């Protein structure tokens, strides 16, 4: 049976020693009073909820799955899910980072991010129910009318109601310009929406009495393509004047998807038959409004894989310390045992350290991005808000794609540590592999994220935003460039930083001549950029660890951080050389292949 211990020490290291989050928050009037004790207390209690309430439901929820009643279109979630959600709402966890105007606690996203990492480690399928509600909340908070905000936000804030986003249709996935759902305006200002949606996570369930669906559809006079999409709020139950759920609306679950993983979450085929909804934002501007939710979801999906990376690593490490298999190549280490624990073998350590490096690097990046979001929304200085927004836009596809690619690799490696026991259900490892696989697919596949990064976030502004991150790297290199103890971290980072400008320019030049060159290079490019970002944070974490050791700290945590940083730069970071060579191979070897693909 798997186990899970919330990584509170590493979270505190990232927030307080690496990012100095309370100093950053002090500049934001909304969060100026948030101190380290508050952050630590919330994390400790949040960790208890994750480990004690939702984690015990992970294996059973996967085995049981969700059940659809075809007659009533109601979905029953696995046993224990509803009670856990009620406890989540009662504890005020849904309101953690929400606006106090609507009943929220107003705590920073940087704190909420860590809480959700623990929930994802404990039970990704369960966590998707409240996680999607946060996205719906953010979208309505940014683009809803005052009436919509008053109607929906208090319920979403408290967790009494949940939310979804209904985008995908059977004939179109990422290309939402092809969607066919129709919205007919009514005399009373409402709309009647008809269409079919698929792959709708948490689209129907028994956790809450009402579900607020955010639905993309076309108005009768809408222009074709993505410029003709509008967004609508469509509740499962129409809302009475007093705010209570009323008559059943014309939106229901027509079927549950049979999936590889996340069995405890209801992934629904949703049918809309004249469902009553209200317009969110401007007509034909639905994608712009939905991008608030989509970008939040992309950060959330990266966080899902971060959570799975951590829990898979914890279990693989514990197993490697106990499982006896063969002897060390340099002679017996456990001489009182018939064999040595497998952790003595170099390749087992490589697998474990890979997962550890991906988890701790991902935690630093995800927390940094959450802090950027806090600054984008609440910093009193407009330039600080704009700079934070631009940097977050650059890093969002990296969080989504790099963390999920790494998370799947980590889950697979940790399963490998278990050998044959990792392939059977009892260890829990095969579930982590199955659950991690979806994270590379939904909310825009990782190829889509790579195209977004290279084409929109880098080349579209001639690398201006990338240069902003490059300045962070350059400042660290200048600060530590002559420190011999930092050389093993700074030198490869500085070299990649220099190469990145040339590499980007080269790909951009080829792309202007042939757009397929961008498509051919994008996935490799994102991984190179991901390593640049991870390299920066790993160098900074090594910097902090070295300083603490120099100050006399005997805490083994800092030695562990240094050793992991050394492993990352020696064994994982060199992937960048291969990736750049692959990207430079160009599009011809992919596109001039009609005979090969006949």
The pLDDT of residue 453: 97
The pLDDT of residue 287: 86
The pLDDT of residue 298: 92
Cα dihedral 475, 479, 481, 487 sign: negative
Q: Which CATH number fits domain 8-67+76-154: 1.10.357.10, 3.40.190.10, 1.10.540.10, 3.30.1370.60?
A: 1.10.540.10
The pLDDT of residue 175: 83
Q: What is the mean pLDDT of residues 332-338?
A: 95
pLDDT digits 0-9 by tens, 557-586 = 999 999 999 999 999 999 999 999 999 999
pLDDT digits 0-9 by tens, 497-526 = 999 999 999 999 999 999 999 999 999 999
Would you list the domain boundaries of the chain? 8-67+76-154, 163-286, 447-590
**Facing residues of 164 across strands?**
213
The pLDDT of residue 176: 82
Q: Determine if the pTM surpasses 0.85.
A: yes
Question: Rounded to an integer, what distance in angstroms lies between the CA atom of residue 265 and that of residue 278?
Answer: 27
User: Given a cut of 80, is residue 293 above it in pLDDT?
Assistant: no
CA 188 to chain centre: 39
- pLDDT confidence bin for 324, thresholds 50/70/90: very high
Burial class of residue 422 in the structure, from the number of CB atoms within 10 Å of its CB (0-12 exposed, 13-18 middle, 19+ buried): buried
pLDDT digits 0-9 by tens, 7-25 = 999 999 999 999 999 999 9
User: Domain 163-286 belongs to what topology?
Assistant: Butyryl-CoA Dehydrogenase, subunit A; domain 2 (2.40.110)
Q: What is the mean pLDDT of residues 249-264?
A: 98
pLDDT digits 0-9 by tens, 358-378 = 999 999 999 999 999 999 999
The secondary structure of 119-184 as a DSSP string is HHHHHHHHHHHHHHHHHHHHHHHHH--HHHHHHHHHHHHHTSSEEEEE--BTTBSS-GGG---EEE
Cite the active site residues. 443
Asked whether the beta carbons of 208 and 159 are under 8 A apart, the reply is yes
Strands 267-280 and 251-256: antiparallel
User: Given a cut of 80, is residue 307 above it in pLDDT?
Assistant: yes
Asked whether the beta carbons of 508 and 495 are under 8 A apart, the reply is no
Asked whether the beta carbons of 238 and 146 are under 8 A apart, the reply is no
Strands 67-69 and 245-248: unpaired
């Amino acid at each position: 049976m798997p186990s899970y211990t919330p990584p509170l020490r590493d979270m505190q290291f990232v927030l307080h020693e690496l990012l100095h989050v309370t100093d950053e928050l002090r500049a934001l009037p909304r969060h100026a009073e948030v101190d380290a004790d508050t952050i630590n207390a919330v994390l400790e209690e949040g960790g208890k909820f994750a480990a004690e309430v939702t984690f015990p439901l992970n294996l059973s929820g996967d085995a049981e799955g969700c059940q659809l009643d075809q007659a009533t279109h109601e979905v029953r979630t696995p046993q224990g899910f509803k009670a856990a959600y009620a406890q989540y709402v009662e504890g005020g966890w849904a309101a953690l980072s929400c606006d106090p105007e609507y009943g929220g606690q107003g705590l920073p996203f940087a704190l909420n991010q860590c809480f959700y990492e623990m929930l994802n480690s404990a039970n990704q399928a369960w966590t998707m129910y409240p996680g999607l509600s946060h996205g719906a909340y953010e979208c309505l908070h940014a683009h809803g009318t005052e009436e919509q905000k008053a109607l929906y936000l208090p319920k979403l804030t408290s967790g009494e109601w949940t939310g979804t986003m209904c985008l995908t249709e059977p004939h179109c996935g990422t290309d939402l310009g092809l969607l066919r759902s129709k919205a007919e305006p009514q005399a009373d200002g409402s709309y009647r929406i008809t269409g079919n949606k698929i792959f709708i996570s948490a689209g129907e369930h028994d956790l809450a009495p009402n579900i607020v669906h955010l639905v993309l559809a076309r108005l009768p006079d809408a222009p074709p393509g993505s410029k003709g999409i509008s967004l609508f709020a469509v509740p499962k139950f129409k809302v009475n004047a007093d705010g209570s759920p009323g008559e059943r609306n014309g939106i229901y679950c027509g079927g549950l998807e049979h999936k590889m993983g996340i069995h405890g979450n209801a992934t629904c085929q949703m049918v809309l038959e004249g469902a009553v909804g209200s317009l969110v934002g401007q007509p034909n501007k639905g994608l712009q409004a939905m991008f608030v939710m989509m970008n939040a979801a992309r950060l959330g999906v990266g966080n899902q894989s971060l959570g799975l990376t951590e829990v898979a690593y914890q279990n693989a490490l514990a197993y490697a310390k106990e499982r006896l298999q063969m002897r060390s190549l340099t002679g017996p280490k456990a001489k009182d045992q018939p064999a040595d624990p497998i952790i003595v073998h170099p390749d087992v350590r490589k697998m474990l350290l890979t997962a550890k490096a991906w988890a701790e690097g991902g935690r630093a990046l995800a927390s940094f991005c959450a802090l950027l979001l806090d600054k984008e929304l609440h910093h009193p200085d407009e330039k600080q808000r704009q700079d934070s927004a631009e940097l977050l836009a650059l890093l969002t596809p990296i969080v989504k794609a790099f963390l999920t690619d790494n998370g799947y690799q980590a889950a697979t490696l940790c399963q490998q540590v278990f050998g044959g026991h990792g392939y059977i259900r009892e260890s829990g490892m095969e579930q982590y592999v199955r659950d991690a696989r979806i994270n590379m697919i939904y909310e825009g596949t990782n190829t889509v994220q790579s195209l977004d990064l290279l084409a929109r976030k880098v080349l579209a502004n001639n690398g201006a935003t990338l240069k902003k991150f490059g300045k962070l790297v350059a400042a660290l290199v200048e600060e530590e460039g002559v420190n011999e103890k930092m050389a093993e971290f700074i030198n490869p980072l500085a070299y990649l930083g220099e190469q990145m400008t040339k590499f980007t320019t080269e790909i951009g030049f080829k792309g202007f001549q042939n757009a397929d060159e961008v498509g051919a290079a994008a996935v490799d490019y994102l991984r190179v950029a991901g390593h640049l970002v991870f390299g920066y944070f790993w160098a900074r974490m090594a910097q902090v660890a070295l300083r603490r050791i120099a100050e006399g700290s005997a805490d083994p945590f800092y030695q562990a951080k240094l050793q992991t940083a050394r492993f990352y730069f020696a064994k994982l970071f060199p992937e960048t050389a291969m990736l750049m060579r692959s990207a430079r191979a160009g599009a011809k070897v992919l596109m001039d292949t009609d005979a090969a693909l006949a």
